[in-house]
Amino acid sequence: MGLFLYLASMSLRQRIHTKICILGGGPAGSTASLYLSKYKIPHLLIDRNNFPRDKVCGENFDGRVYWILKDLMPEEFKVLDENERLLKTWKYRIWSKNLNFSFEFPKEKTPRLALKRQSLDQTLFQKASSSKYAQIITGKTYTLNHTQEGHHLKFEDLDIQADFLIRATGARKEESKPHLNYLFSRTYYQGVKSKGEDGFEFFHFKKPFRGLVSLCPLPNDLTNVEITIRHADYQCYSEPLDTLLENLIEAQPELKARFKGAVQVSKPKGISMHMASPVRFTGDREVRIGSSAFTSNPAVGLGVGNAMSGGRLIARVINDLMGQPNGLAKVPSAYEGQAKTYFRPMLRFNMVANMIHQNFNFFEPLLWVFYKLRVLNFFLKQDLKLFSVRQSLAGFWTKPPVEKIKKAEAKTPAFQS
């Protein structure tokens, strides 16, 4: 009887075969799906959670997010923009007891975007789900086994055989160094007073304890306020992170004044993450994109840009090779080569940011000297080019003439508003 029931249930199970399966529908997975759909390549997109989901994030994104959104979904981008659900910013500020730097990206550059992660992720995922080339499964658990034919995903009522996996499952915890583990807690506040033009701000504290407070202004008078503490430093405290955040705000006169009258409009939400994980772009008949390939320090604000660029890159590589004999088998090595070159400057920048973050006492005076000598402004103007030897050398010879910059300004809608 038992065997009969087992055989009956096996025969009722649905089976699906897919050439390409994306695991994870965050910015990396959804962008990969959207570009695959653009190239008319059928695929499966699986997320273990249901959407919309609320991911803790600093919510300040680099110019690649701006361009990819405009490229993939100009209509939805316009709606986000017109409904004031995104904010364009050029400013960046770092504060510590001995420093108070304000940088401004040159306005001819693409603005940084500030918008709620929930809106961004939901917009991307919804658009990905609406494509006839994408089959979507969410909110279901499964086990994954690697077989000779590819990958076998076993759900309660479904078996999926996938030839090729795109892993976009977010940060890997198991492979990182414990001293790089950080805790974060995010709270939305309404009515935090702004300090001039809006921008991303970091407050580096040594006292009353070591921690970082970041402020990201969002549309509709909201501010994303986040506290970051190294896991090892937090172990001696019994208070929850949001109480420690309130203590830090109280301890800094400027923050105290700016938060006067501001109200919390969300419960604090926490997350832990390793600031740097070993880089891994490929596996057996699979590739990794987004934080699943490598994590970046949230302070550099490049994580979502990296994730979406990774999604775009893998779809392009698949599109280029898919038509060739045994094309999918060639994808991992082709993607690895291109990803290593493309992400090299971001990885170097991340390494420097981590080094500064972890040894702030040592770097603080150096940063002050660099700031006074205007070296930091120069760095910012060069953007990530300085972290790529080839690009930075090219940048020295091909400085854009003033006229070109003016023309670019005239064409950028952000300047006209």
111 binds ligand FAD (CB under 6 A): no
User: Which of 35, 61, 335, 343 is close enough to bind ligand FAD by CB under 6 A?
Assistant: 61
Of 204-212, 240-248, 290-298, 404-412, the window that binds ligand FAD (rule: CB under 6 A) is 290-298
- Is residue 397 exposed (0-12), middle (13-18) or buried (19+ Cβ within 10 Å)? exposed
3-state secondary structure of 251: helix
47 binds ligand FAD (CB under 6 A): yes
CA dist., res. 214 & res. 10, Å (int): 52
Chain centroid to CA 278: how far? Answer: 17
- Alpha-helical segments (H) within 193-302: 231-234, 241-251, 253-258
User: Which of 34, 58, 172, 211 is close enough to bind ligand FAD by CB under 6 A?
Assistant: 58
Of 284-292, 324-332, 379-387, 390-398, the window that binds ligand FAD (rule: CB under 6 A) is 284-292
CA dist., res. 219 & res. 84, Å (int): 6
350 binds ligand FAD (CB under 6 A): no
184 binds ligand FAD (CB under 6 A): yes
DSSP string, 13-34: SEEEEEEEEEE--SHHHHHHHH
Q: Convert residues 140-159 into a mask of x (bound to ligand FAD by CB under 6 A) and - (unbound).
A: --------------------
Comparing CB distances to ligand FAD, the nearer of 51 and 259 is 51
26 binds ligand FAD (CB under 6 A): yes
* Minimum distance from residue 238 beta carbon to ligand FAD (Å): 22
Comparing CB distances to ligand FAD, the nearer of 58 and 211 is 58
Q: Which tokens go with 190?
A: 């309404």
CA dist., res. 198 & res. 309, Å (int): 26
Of 118, 77, 314, the closest CA to residue 322 belongs to 314
**Strand partners of residue 204:** 212
20 binds ligand FAD (CB under 6 A): no
Comparing CB distances to ligand FAD, the nearer of 141 and 416 is 141
343 binds ligand FAD (CB under 6 A): no
Comparing CB distances to ligand FAD, the nearer of 176 and 330 is 176
* Minimum distance from residue 64 beta carbon to ligand FAD (Å): 9
H-run or E-run covering 146: strand 143-146
89 binds ligand FAD (CB under 6 A): no
292 binds ligand FAD (CB under 6 A): yes
Long-range contacts of 219-224 (CB under 8 A, 24+ apart): 219/84, 219/85, 219/86, 219/87, 219/114, 219/115, 220/84, 221/190, 221/191, 222/188, 222/189, 222/190, 222/265, 223/188, 223/189, 223/190, 223/192, 223/262, 224/57, 224/58, 224/59, 224/114, 224/186, 224/188
Q: Convert residues 243-282 into a mask of x (bound to ligand FAD by CB under 6 A) and - (unbound).
A: ----------------------------x-x---------
* Minimum distance from residue 71 beta carbon to ligand FAD (Å): 18
> How many residues in the shown chain lie near ligand FAD by CB under 6 A?
35
Q: Convert residues 299-338 into a mask of x (bound to ligand FAD by CB under 6 A) and - (unbound).
A: --xxxxx-x-------------------------------
Residues that bind ligand FAD (CB under 6 A): 23-29, 46-49, 53, 55-61, 168-170, 184, 271, 273, 290-292, 298, 301-305, 307
